[in-house]
Each structure stands twice: as C-alpha cells, then as structure tokens.
Amino acid sequence: MHRNGHFGLNLYLTAPIVFVTGLFGVLEIGLVFVITSAIFPSLPDIDLSLSKYSSIKHRGITHTVWFGLVFGFIYMLVLGSILFYITNPFKVVSFGIFENSQFSVGLLLLSLFFAGFCAVIFHLIGDVFTPTGVNFFSRDNSYGFSINQFYASNEVANRSAIVIGILSLVLAVSVSVNEFIPVYMFPVVYISGLLVWLVFVRTFIGKYTMKLFDFFT
C-alpha cells in the first residue's frame, strides 16, 4: 500500500485500542496510539531510501517484528526522555493534553513502547493485503504471508482506507464513552466495515465510486 493507504489502515487497526481504553476511562492512552500510528504510517518503507546506500532491501529487515521491537524501544526512550525533561519524573507525568489525567511513569513508558511497536506492525498487516506479503520474522524479502486482496498501487484501496480508518475511530470513541450504545455494537460494525471495504475495493463498486468522486470534486 502507499502512504495514504497505510495511514488509513493504521487508524483502522488502532480503533480497537481506542475502544478498550475508552471503556476503561483512559482514552488518553488510546490517543497516544492514534497519534503515533498517524505520524509513522510508512516507517518500515524507510528501506526504500536505505536500499540506495546499503544492502538493505525493500520488505526486508524493516518489515519484521524485530524492527517493531527496536523502534518501540527507541521511541519510548526518546519521547519518554523529552517528556521527563519537561515534567517531574519522581511523581507523575501530567502535561498538555493529559492535564486532566495523571499517569505513572511506568504506564506512560509502556504505552509509548507499544504505540511505536504497533505503528510498525500495523504497517506490516497492511502489506499482508498485497500479493507479495510479508515475512514477519525474517528479513527475507521474497514472497511472504499474504491474503492477496489488492495490489499496493490500488488507488481505490489506498484512498478508501482513510475513510474506513476515520469512521472506525469515530465508532470506537462513540461506543466506548456513550453508555446508551451497546458495547457489542463496536465489534459487529467494525468487522462488518472491513468486509464491506474489501468488497468495495475488489469490485467495480469502488472503481466507479472513485470516478464519481473525482468528477464532482
């Protein structure tokens, strides 16, 4: 997938985390995941630039779980250090958007680590939809695990992924904070949305919808 496709799919995959954190009243942690996934949707594709100056190949080492673990650790250290510099690490971390909540240092660091890790893993999941797929635990860049739904260059998939990603986040927040909406509505609509999206992408419906959208915009 292209950057915009990964951006949308990352948001979609982050929605369950937002939903759970919303249910437990710590929606701010979910926001950390959303921001991280939105900032680094195509981080593993840094190998496209690195391949020009090294032996690193596309969908090689940067498209593995190991890269996700390393990035999560670095992300935690760098961002955690910056936040600690502007706060008091011996009591609680409370800043900016977190002014109404207080997080222990350990919880914040753990959130940052998994947010960085998930940003990479969500990208890999996006690549699983393409024919080449991904070797999650090996730097072998030959054909890996794939469900082969569409090509990475499929503009219908890339552009519509943004829509399903944003709608999924809105759904996650709405259901988790609104006590009048049954909790089971989230998984039902969430999974149904994915199935509808795949039909949209793989059939003429998506193709002609995009053409109509381009015509009227």
Q: pLDDT per residue over 131-164, tens digit each?
A: 999 999 988 878 889 999 999 889 999 999 999 9
Residue 117, Cβ density class (10 Å: 0-12 exposed, 13-18 middle, ≥19 buried):
buried
Cβ(158)–Cβ(2) under 8 Å?
yes
Q: pLDDT per residue over 101-119, tens digit each?
A: 445 677 888 999 999 999 9
Strand partners, 93: 103
**Nearest by Cα to 34 from 111, 124, 128, 126:** 111
Q: How many domains are there within the chain?
A: 1
Cβ(135)–Cβ(53) under 8 Å?
no
User: Cα–Cα distance between 217 and 206 in angstroms, integer?
Assistant: 16
Cβ(5)–Cβ(158) under 8 Å?
yes
Confidence of residue 88 (pLDDT cuts 50, 70, 90): low
The tokens describing 188, both together, are 């039902």
> What pLDDT is recorded for position 57?
86
Cβ(140)–Cβ(64) under 8 Å?
no
Cβ(161)–Cβ(8) under 8 Å?
yes
Cβ(142)–Cβ(193) under 8 Å?
no
> What pLDDT is recorded for position 84?
73
Q: pLDDT per residue over 16-50, tens digit each?
A: 999 999 999 888 899 999 999 999 999 999 998 88
Q: What are the backbone angles phi and psi of residue 21, rounded to the nearest 5°?
A: -65, -35
> What pLDDT is recorded for position 63?
94
Q: What is the domain range of residue 145? A: 3-216
